[in-house]
Amino acid sequence: MLNWRGDKYGTAKSMQEHRLLPAPQTVHWGYFDATLAPVLAIESGERVTISTVSGTPDVMPPPPLVVPPALREIHERVTRRTVPGHICTGPVAVRGAKPGQTLQVDIEAIEPFYDWGFNFIRPLSGALPHDFAQFRNIHLTLDRARGDWVLPWGQRVPSRPFFGVMAAAPPPAWGVISTLPPRQNGGNLDNKELVASTTLYLPIFVDDALFSVGDGHGAQGDGEVCITAVETGLTGTFRLTLRDDMRLEWPRAQTPTHMITMAFDPDLDDCVVIALRQMIDLLCAQAGLDRYQAYSLCSLAADLRVTQVVNGNKGVHIMLEKRYFERG
C-alpha cells in the first residue's frame, strides 16, 4: 500500500548537492516537451537547488529596481519561446526514473532570488475577462525585514513564496504543450499550499522524469483571480526521490499537517469529482475505511478549495488532516 509518511549553470556541489541557475542554456520558455535534453542529471534522493526568473521584457520594473542580468540575457538570447508562458529552469534528469514510477519532490527551502515582483491584469483573461478593458501592470517590492510585499498604493500582503510551476515531462504522445494549463504531469499548479516543508508527488511519464520548475510566486490567494500572483524569482531546494511503491494518475501532495489531492479540468465540477475520488481512494488505502465511510468523512472534515480559475484548466485541491489516515 502507499505510505505517504514516509558557478557553472549546472554544477555538483558534492555527491548529493547540486546547483542550477537560470541562463539561456538552462531554461525552456513557455512549453514542456518530453524530448527536451536535461541540463543537469542527479541520482534519486539527491538535493538540487534551483533558481528561477519570471516575466517578459514589457513587464520589467524601472530603476532603482534591478533586473537580474540572467533574466536580461534570457530575454535577448532565448528565441524558442511560447508566449504567454513561463520561463522554467531545467529539466533535471533523475537517473533511473521510468514511466509508471512517481517522483517525490520534497520542497526543503524557498528563498527570494530578487526583491521585486509584478502583477498584471490583461483584457479577456482572468476570472472577470470582460470587466477590465485595459492592460495594467504593477510592481511590488519585498520588505525582507517585515516579511511582506508592498503594493504601489501602500498596502502590504504577507510573503508566502511557492513555485507555481513544478512538473515532470509530459507523455511523449502529447508533443510540445504549453506551460499554462496544469495537467497530469503537474506544471502550472498554482497551489499556494506547496511552500517550504511540503512534498509534491508527480506521475512519471518518461525515462529520467525530467523535472522543471518556474513561475515563482511571492504571494497568492486561492483562485489567482486576475491571472497573476506576485510574479517573482525564487530559489528552491528540492530533494528528488523515485518511488516504486506509488502509482499516480494525478499529482498529489502533503504538508506537515494535511494530505492533498488535486485535479485540473476546464470544468470545475469535473475537478471536484476527480479530486474527491482520489481522496476517497487514499482514505480507503491508508485508513482502511470502506468507500461509504470515506465519503462521509470527507463531507465532515475535508476542505475542498478552488486552487485557481485562470489557467485554461481550472484547479481544485482537497485537504484532509493526516490524523484521519491513521488506522484505529
Q: Which three cell numbers stand for residue 250?
A: 494525478
Average of pLDDT values for 225-229? 98
The model's confidence at residue 302, banded by pLDDT at 50, 70 and 90, is: very high
Q: Give the pLDDT confidence score for residue 15 in this predicted structure.
A: 55
Distance CA 259, CA 5 (A): 10
Distance CA 143, CA 150 (A): 7
pLDDT digits (tens, 9 = 90+) for 78-119: 999 999 999 999 999 999 999 999 999 999 999 999 999 999
Q: Per-residue pLDDT for 11 more than 80?
A: no
Average of pLDDT values for 277-306? 97
The model's confidence at residue 327, banded by pLDDT at 50, 70 and 90, is: confident
In the chain, what's the furthest Cα-to-Cα distance? Answer: 60
Delineate the domains of the chain, giving CATH numbers in brackets. Answer: 10-243 (2.60.120.580), 257-325 (3.10.28.20)
β-pair type (116-121, 40-42): unpaired
pLDDT digits (tens, 9 = 90+) for 26-60: 999 999 999 999 999 999 999 999 999 999 999 99
Q: Per-residue pLDDT for 7 more than 70?
A: no
What backbone torsions phi and psi does residue 296 show, to the nearest 5 degrees?
A: -60, -45
Q: Which three cell numbers stand for residue 293?
A: 465511510
Q: Give the pLDDT confidence score for residue 8 in this predicted structure.
A: 42
Q: Per-residue pLDDT for 4 more than 50?
A: no
